[in-house]
Every structure is written in structure tokens, then in C-alpha cells.
């Protein structure tokens, strides 16, 4: 059965008629063509699909699109300023070499933004605990942790 879903994505209205079993990540990638949100595991283990729903980080592979009806969704494409200026967390990942292949980076950044809200002095232990639902298969997380610490400080400015 098909249903119509409507939400705001990156500040713009978005709607489509989809199968009722359509995942939010599928809606974002296939209907809206916002491919920065990645599908890594389909089991909510890796965090590559992390987006913000009403300001909170969620894994879009574990939600149906209809569960986001009326919600405000932000994807990695929506965090930079309209003029292309990177979000402070994105800039921190770039400046601190917090990525390698880049596959996990959008989900890491989205989770990190939520983790750092109002917390400019995150400890390494807090960051590592906050990243437990995001996997990187390329790095030892050192530069990711360093990036998030720098991004949290920059977000507070």
C-alpha cells in the first residue's frame, strides 16, 4: 500500500507517495536524491545513516518514512550555511583530519553536532561513549575524537 509522507528536509518542504514500508533513509536517498546520508549496515549498527529529526540525531535506517511525518529533518547536506561555509563541526573534521575514506563521515558529523550541543568541553571519554553507535572501518578514531573536541569548542563560539 502506498502512502503520502510530508516533512521538512533541510528547511524545504518535501513530500512523496511511497510504500508504507519505506525507510526514512530510502526516502532521503531515493526520493529526495540527498545521497550524503549513507546506508552502511541496514541494522542501525554503523551510524552512517544518522540525520537529525527535530534537532535530535537518529538513525534513518531504523525508521519508517511515515514515522517522520511532519518532522523537521536535517541531513549532512543541510548543515553548511547557504553560502557554502562549513558548519563548525564539518570544518573541525576537515582541519583535524577526522576522515579517511569518508563513508562514515556524514553520520559521524551529524552525531557529533548533536553530542556537542551546549557542551564545549567534552572529554575524550564522553566523545568515545557518544560515538558508540557510529563505526569507522578506516581509522583508529583518534582524529575523529580530536575533531569532535575541536568542533564542540567552535560550536560554542
User: Could you tell me which of 27, 38, 29 has the C-alpha nearest to residue 2?
Assistant: 27
Q: 157 pLDDT exceeds 90?
A: no
pLDDT for the residue numbered 139: 80
**Predicted structure pTM score:** 0.94
Please answer whether residues 27 and 51 qualify as being in contact, where contact means their C-beta atoms are separated by less than 8 angstroms: no
Strand partners, 8: 13, 72
Residues 9-31 have a mean pLDDT of 97
Residues 81-101 have a mean pLDDT of 96
Residues 46-65 have a mean pLDDT of 97
C-alpha grid cell, residue 78 = 543541510
- Name the helix (H) or strand (E) containing 73: strand 72-74
d(Cα 104, Cα 100) in Å, to the nearest integer?
Answer: 9
Domains in the chain (CATH in brackets) are 2-78 (3.10.20.30), 88-156 (1.10.150.120)
pLDDT for the residue numbered 19: 97
pLDDT per residue as tens digits for the range 121-143: 999 999 999 999 999 998 879 99
pLDDT for the residue numbered 152: 98
Q: 42 pLDDT exceeds 80?
A: no
Sort strands 50-53 and 56-59 into parallel, antiparallel or unpaired. antiparallel
Residues 51-65 have a mean pLDDT of 97
Give the pLDDT band (50/70/90) at residue 72. Answer: very high
DSSP, residue by residue, 13-70? EEEEEEETT-BHHHIIIIIS--TTS--S-SSSSS-TTEEEETTEEEEGGGSBGGGGTT
DSSP letter assigned to residue 71: -
pLDDT for the residue numbered 110: 98
Amino acid at each position: 500500500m502506498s502512502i503520502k509522507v510530508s516533512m521538512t528536509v533541510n528547511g524545504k518542504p518535501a513530500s512523496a507517495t511511497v510504500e508504507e514500508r519505506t525507510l526514512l533513509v530510502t526516502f532521503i536517498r531515493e526520493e529526495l536524491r540527498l545521497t550524503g546520508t549513507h546506508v552502511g549496515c541496514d541494522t542501525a549498527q554503523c551510524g552512517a545513516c544518522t540525520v537529525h529529526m527535530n534537532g535530535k540525531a537518529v538513525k534513518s535506517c531504523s525508521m519508517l518514512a511515515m514515522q517522520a511525518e511532519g518532522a523537521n529533518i536535517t541531513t549532512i547536506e543541510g548543515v553548511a550555511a547557504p553560502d557554502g561555509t562549513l558548519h563548525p563541526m564539518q570544518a573541525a573534521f576537515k582541519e583535524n583530519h577526522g576522515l579517511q575514506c569518508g563513508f562514515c563521515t556524514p553520520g559521524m558529523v551529524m552525531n557529533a553536532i548533536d553530542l556537542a550541543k551546549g557542551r564545549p568541553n567534552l572529554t575524550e571519554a564522553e566523545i568515545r561513549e557518544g560515538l558508540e553507535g557510529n563505526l569507522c572501518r578506516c581509522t583508529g578514531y583518534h582524529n575523529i575524537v580530536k575533531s569532535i573536541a575541536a568542533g564542540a569548542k567552535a560550536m560554542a563560539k
